[in-house]
A and B are shown apart, each in its own frame.
Chain A
Amino acid sequence: MSQPFRHGDGDRIDRTRPLTFRFGDRVLTGFGGDTLASALLANGVHEVGRSVDLGRPRGIVAAGVEEPSALVQIEAPFPEPMLTATTVELYDGLVAQPLAGRGLLSSEPDPARYDAVWAHCEVLVVGAGPAGLAAATDAARPGQRVMLVDERPPGPGEATPAGVRRLSRTTVVGYYDDNFLVAIERRTDHLGPAAPPNAARQRVWRIRAGRVVLATGAHERSIPFPDNDRPGIMLAGAALTYLRCYGVLVGRRALVYTTNDSAYPVADALRSAGAEVVVADTRLGSRGVPPAGNPPAADLTGARITEVFGEQRVICVRVGDRRLDVDVVLVSGGFNPVLHLYSQAGGRLRYDEDLGALLPDGCRQRVDVVGTAAGEGLPRCGPPPLPEPSAADSRTFVDLARDVTIADVRRATSAGLRSVEHIKRYTTAGTAHDQGKTSGLLTSAAVAAALGSSAAEVGVTTARPPYVPVAFATLAGRDRGDLFDPIRITPMHGWHVAHGATFENVGQWKRAWYYPREGEDMAAAVARECRAARTGVAMMDVSTLGKIDVQGPDAAEFLDRLYTNLMSTLSVGTVRYGVMCGVDGMVLDDGTAARLGPERYLVTTTTGNAALVLDWMEEWLQTEWPRLRVWCTSVTEQWATVALVGPAARGVLARVAPDLAVDTASFPFMRWRDTTVAGLPARVFRISFSGELAYEINVASWNGHALWEELVAAGAADGIVPYGTEAMHVLRAEKGYPIVGQDTDGTVTPDDLGLGWAIRKSDKDFVGRRSLSRPDTARPDRKQLVGLLPEDPARHLVEGAHIVERAPLGPPPVPYLGHVTSSYFSVALDRTFALALVASGRQRIGTRLFATLDGELIPVEVTGPVLYDPKGARRDG
């Protein structure tokens, strides 16, 4: 007979809609409205899997999210590991597997769509039971946005109060500061393969609520006894839910085992449905006699289960001195109001002796707890009774989901642990998918018993989000695939791509790294690019350099306060290199400042630091110097910039800038000129990051591509070569120019970098100046930037390699002198070289040190950082 345990019409199922599903190798049927658990129970299936550590058979314990043990793996339509059978809504064609321990993640990408929404409301009610419905109805009035959120599917005949926005199949999983709550709506899970592919499967709701009402009900808890994990042993209230909501009689011979009055109506209902029921109440004497008018009375009082027979399914139990043949044991150890969200909100809990449960005790946030969650209607009940210590303790479970027994708890307390939080971490009790919803207080009671304390004193562990497991796919939503981080490209990017450039990421920018020609590897391409810059002419897209326009009557004063050198003494038309320090005296950034007018400067920053430097400027202007009349704006993307570099650069520029006098006397180093280049309005800077004669030509960004093409054409006769960031790095390193962020790490002063010359001589303060005379920053043995030449000119050092004084290393601790910050092969020097930060580096120039490389020690000679053209003879071409 199909579904032999169906009995009557459950109010949630639709008997006109039969559904077929597979569980393991069995094909079974259920009805619309069933959960997987209710359909299994209707077919007489209790055992659904095996426990995670001990591999013991486990069955269905509860009827909702609190389920500790009935974990299944869904195979179709899409594989999902470790779902509770009690929350999976049945659909036609569902395929589930019993779970032995852990589930398996799918190796296929999830084809479903997920999304997210924001909502704001005056009142958010969590839970649509009687108390929640009443609260929502009370709150609803014009102008009030009221949301009612419930984790279950909409029940038959359940009306949504007028003026209330209701979300069903939606679980609030987190409650954060300022009444910010996160809920997960399961929109199409219950449709299975029939889910429309264009609909988001699940949706994250981020809700900001003026006031929150928690009507979250209560979870029943179990009672520890030996082998209390056998399939067929379940919560009494769950049995009633299966009967009333799903028309399922969970067993025909039931023992109801209770510490309180709530289980008596369960026994009554099961008897009415035709089951044989014996009620065993753990209470003695008068407390054991249920209140008048609450029939039937207990068959056994002061009774304890001492033995359970049957492995895959309970078949018999020993209660006191009686042996009872049963097919289910229905347990009630009292109730835990569901206060996870309340705790997350910062709510305090107090232990109520009458109810043997924790109740809300005040919260700083605007939240009310109503109904059962506030303890209303819960039965009087003590803490869960524990068996006398015995050898069976290692089979007496407090947390089924984690296979934690009373013996485990005692082992933890014997190891000296006292706090329930520590015991949680030691035993893992309460850390499974269910977070100990049915077991938390059992663990606390076991701890209390072991320590001779009380459950009230021991308390429970802190509830943390999420309240139920949430799939990462849901949280990711549509944010899959490429990162949201913007990809920034220059106006010349298309040319770089078309000419085979490889790219590197610099901050958010894509920068051309090198331009390999047919048959060239990276080393060959970079060598060719470097050679062109040093011997002919080369060009580079430097549009990404940060550019900040600083204007106002106090602009000069402002820059004097931020840069180590004076910018107020610059005359209009000139440019100066500048270093910026943090208040701690450490190098923050470097760049150039060009004086465009008496009250206007253009400053440049390192590519990756542009936003940081603008923030830095605005912070000082707003917080410390609000009286300075200065305005800063980013103009990085308003300009496209090309560096034209090499001894032949002057000739190329002369060809495209007929109005510009390019000789050194007319246009000396560190000057800028406004002119026309290739017919485009341009500003040309004579600055160099390679030591060669160089111009940086700035045009409006929309002219950038045209300028680039014109320069390529104008330089063709001289064999102009475009070069990328790698060659730029080599060229600047040959000259000992540091790159902030590569050769510095926030612990490096200007003097450490050899930039002492860039610190002003006048007494006028700049940010960080005082720090440069602190005893630590003035130490002579600070790490200083030096050059390193491997004795074998073919050996390439690794950036980050440690520097040590002698080889072999000798016994530890080996003094660590510093590390390699930049390392390249130099065409100009025809050898490898490196820059490094080395303790007392400048004093060590001329000495021999060693750099580590894969366990080998490479001998190197310490040199000054400037390895090429130390006299600066090449900058005028």
Chain B
Amino acid sequence: MMLITCPWCGPRIEIEFHYGGEAGVAYPENPAELSHEEWGRYLFVRANPKGEFFERWCHSAGCRRWFDLRRDTVTHETGSIG
């Protein structure tokens, strides 16, 4: 049961949050100009590293704000992104 630090509310228990997958995957500027492969990569391809991972979380049972979090996928150590 991780203790996740919400940048707005401080450290809170994991069950207050929901997970949003890999961080930094921006919605493409001009989707119409992308090839099928490029668009497919945006839709379906995400990193799945063993170790450090930057990911999106939402404090859904708190302030409802989205934020990015650094998490080690092996140890579950988390830290906010500076």
Q: Taking beta carbons and an 8 Å cutoff, which residues of A are in contact with B? A: 176-178, 180, 208, 346, 364, 583-584, 615, 618-619, 622-624, 763, 765, 767, 769-771, 774-775
Contacts and interface: CB of A to CB of B under 8 A. Distances in A.
B48 interface: no
B51 interface: no
Given A346-B75, A615-B60, A774 B40 contact: yes
Contacts of B3: 177-178, 180, 208
Contacts, number: 53
A511 to B, nearest CB: 25
A367 to B, nearest CB: 13
Contacts of B77: 364
B68 to A, nearest CB: 10
B65 A765 contact: no
Which of B40, B43, B56, B58 has its CB near the most chain A CB atoms (within 10 A)?
B43
A545 B75 CA distance: 43
A630 to B, nearest CB: 15
B36 interface: yes
A584 B43 contact: yes
Given A770-B32, A770-B34, A774-B36, 14 more contacts: A177-B1, A177-B3, A177-B14, A180-B13, A364-B75, A615-B58, A619-B20, A622-B65, A623-B66, A624-B27, A765-B30, A765-B31, A765-B32, A769-B31
B43 A763 contact: no
Nearest to B58: A619
Interface in B28-77: 28, 30-32, 34, 36, 39-40, 42-43, 56, 58, 60, 64-66, 75-77
13 contacts: A178-B1, A178-B2, A178-B76, A180-B1, A180-B2, A583-B43, A615-B58, A619-B58, A623-B66, A763-B32, A770-B31, A771-B39, A775-B36
B39 to A, nearest CB: 5
Nearest to A583: B43
A405 B10 CA distance: 53
Nearest to A624: B27
Interface string B1-16: 1110000000001100
Given A770-B39, A771-B39, A622 B1 contact: no
A176 B1 contact: yes
Contacts of B20: 619
A771 B66 contact: no
Contact of A624 (B26, B30, B76): B26
Nearest to A582: B43
B57 to A, nearest CB: 11
B76 A177 contact: yes
Interface residues of B, number: 27
Contacts of B27: 583, 624, 767
Contacts of A770: 28, 31-32, 34, 39
B66 A622 contact: yes
Contacts of B66: 619, 622-623
Nearest to B4: A178
A771 B42 CA distance: 11
Contacts of A624: 26-27
A763 B31 CA distance: 11
Residue among A765, A770, A771, A775 with most chain B CB within 10 A: A770
Contact of B43 (A180, A622, A771, A775): A771
A583 B31 CA distance: 11
A622 B20 CA distance: 13
A618 B75 contact: no
A768 to B, nearest CB: 9
A178 B34 CA distance: 43
Nearest to A178: B3
Contact of A177 (B2, B30, B40, B43): B2
A767 B39 CA distance: 12
A233 B66 CA distance: 61
Query: Which of B3, B31, B39, B58 has the most chain A CB within a 10 Å cutoff?
Result: B31
A771 B34 CA distance: 11
A698 B77 CA distance: 50
B56 A623 contact: yes
Contacts of A364: 75, 77
B64 A618 contact: yes
Given A364-B75, A622-B65, A774 B1 contact: no
Contacts of B13: 180, 208
A663 to B, nearest CB: 44
A208 B11 CA distance: 12
The 6 A-B residue pairs whose C-beta atoms are closest, nearest first, are: A770-B31, A178-B3, A180-B1, A177-B76, A177-B2, A176-B1
B74 to A, nearest CB: 9
A518 B53 CA distance: 63
A615 to B, nearest CB: 7
Contacts of B2: 177-178, 180
Nearest to A775: B36
From A619, A763, A775, residue with most partner B Cβ within 10 Å: A619
Nearest to B42: A583
A767 B31 CA distance: 9
A224 to B, nearest CB: 36
A767 B42 CA distance: 13
Nearest to A206: B1
A176 B77 CA distance: 12
Contacts of A584: 43
B79 to A, nearest CB: 12
A818 B47 CA distance: 34
A731 B28 CA distance: 41
Nearest to A764: B32
Contacts of A178: 1-3, 76
Given A583-B27, A622-B65, A774 B32 contact: no
A771 to B, nearest CB: 7
A701 to B, nearest CB: 23
Nearest to A623: B66
Contacts of B43: 583-584, 771
Contacts of A767: 27
A346 B75 CA distance: 8
Query: Quick one: which of B1, B34, B75 has the most chain A CB within 10 A?
Result: B1
A208 B14 CA distance: 12
B10 to A, nearest CB: 13
Nearest to B68: A623
B65 to A, nearest CB: 7
Contacts of A774: 36, 39-40
Contacts of B36: 774-775
Contacts of A615: 58, 60
A178 B76 CA distance: 8
Nearest to B27: A624
Contacts of A763: 32
B72 to A, nearest CB: 9
A767 B27 CA distance: 9
A763 B28 CA distance: 16
B2 to A, nearest CB: 5
Nearest to A625: B27
A619 B65 CA distance: 8
B59 to A, nearest CB: 11
Contacts of B76: 177-178
Nearest to A763: B32
A488 B80 CA distance: 37
Contacts of B34: 770
Contacts of A771: 39, 43
A226 B17 CA distance: 55
Nearest to A561: B27
A846 B76 CA distance: 58
Contacts of A180: 1-3, 13
B60 to A, nearest CB: 7
A177 B76 CA distance: 7
Contacts of A618: 64
Contacts of A622: 65-66
A363 to B, nearest CB: 10
Contacts of B40: 774
A177 B40 CA distance: 35
Contacts of A177: 1-3, 14, 76
